[in-house]
Structures are given as structure tokens and as C-alpha cells.
Amino acid sequence: MEVILSVDERTAIAAIVGRVDTIAANDFEQKIEKTISSGVKKIIIDMEKMAYISSAGLRSVLILCKKAQASDVVLVWCCMNSIVRKIFDVSGFSKLVNVVGSLDEAKERDFDGKTI
């Protein structure tokens, strides 16, 4: 798994490439967590190239959401493929976190910050 970061003043875009499975989950969590504490206000997780997310990965999503909330950072999850979308749907994560279809929407929209 790889995390490709592009950061401007207020928004960071983290493109995830590959599988976020049990082994990669920790790495994924640490990298995004670093971005949370870097001072940006919004982090868009671009999941277009994320092939799969395991339940350990979902737990990382959960932890990241909690941390983002504590740091007053908005996390937006966008561009999921069908497999990942299904995992998010089935597990109910789609309803827990900010999920949008496109990167533009993720950039433009204001999120009031869902609470978990």
C-alpha cells in the first residue's frame, strides 16, 4: 500500500494505492495521522486506487475519524471503487463517515463534521 500526499494551505489530499489489509492498516493509520497533526483543516482520502480494505483497515478509519474530530480536522472519503464501497456500506461505515463520489465534490463541499 502507498499513500501519495499533496498538501496546500488548508487541504491535504491523500491518495491511497493498493490494499489496506491487516498488515498495511497500521502504516495507513500512521501516515494519515501525521497529516492530521500537520495543521491542515481538511483531509481528502482519495480511494480511487484503493483495491480493498479489511476490517482492520476499517478500524483504522474509525480511529482516524476520532482523532480528526479531536483535532478539529474534517476527513472526507471519496472516489471508492465498488468493492470498497460495498465494504463501507455493509459495515455501515458509509453512514458513519463523510463519503462523497468525486474529488471536486470533496473539495468544494463544506462538511459540518460527522460525529461518531
Partner 1 sequence: MFHRQIDLGLAKPFGFGITTKLTLWTLIGAGLVLAFTLQYSEHFSSRIILGLVEKGATNLVKSASLQFDDRLQSVVKSTENLAYAVEFGNWNEVSILDLLESVVRENKDIYGATIAFEPHMFNSDIKAYAPYYYKSPKGVELVQLGNPEYDYLNKDWYVIPRRSNKPHWSAPYFDAGGGNIRMVTYSRPMFLRKSPSESLKIKGIVTADLSLDRLSLDVSDLFNGSSKYVFIISTDGVFLANPDSRLLFQESLQELALKRQSSVLEQLAQLMNTENSGFLDVGVELSGTDSYCAFHTIASTGWKMGALFAKSDLFRASDELRQALVIIAAIGVLLLMAVSYLVARSFSKPIKRLVHATKNIGAGNLEFQTLEINRKDEIGTLAVAFDAMQKSLKDYIQQLTKATAEKERIESELSIAASIQRSMLPPISPTLGERQDLDVCALMQPAREVGGDFYDFFFMDKDSVCLAIGDVSGKGVPAALFMSVTKYLVEATVSSEQKLDVALKQVNNLLLRNNESYMFVTIFLATLNLKTGLLTYSNCGHNPPLIINADTMAQPVGESTGPILGVLEDPKIWTETLQLDPNSILLTFTDGVTEAFNSSEDLFGDERLVNAVSNAKELSVSGIVSEVMRNLKNFCGDSPQTDDITMLALRYKPKNRP
User: What residues make contact with partner 1 under the rule CB under 8 A?
Assistant: 19, 21-22, 25, 51-52, 54-56, 58-59, 62-63, 66, 83, 87, 89-93, 95-96, 116
C-beta closer to partner 1: residue 107 or 114: 114
Query: Which CB sits closer to partner 1, 8 or 116?
Result: 116
Distance in angstroms (rounded) separating the CA atoms of residues 71 and 15: 21
Shortest spacing between CB 15 and partner 1, in angstroms: 19
Neighbours of 55 (CB within 10 A): 12
Closest separation between CB of residue 9 and partner 1, Å? 30
Please answer whether residues 84 and 50 qualify as being in contact, where contact means their C-beta atoms are separated by less than 8 angstroms. yes
State the nearest-atom distance from the C-beta of 91 to partner 1, in Å. Answer: 4
Say how far apart CA 28 and CA 99 lie, in whole Å.
18
Grid cell digits, residue 37: 497533526
Pairing between β-strand 2-7 and β-strand 11-20 as defined by DSSP bridges = antiparallel
For partner 1, the closer CB: 13 or 73: 73
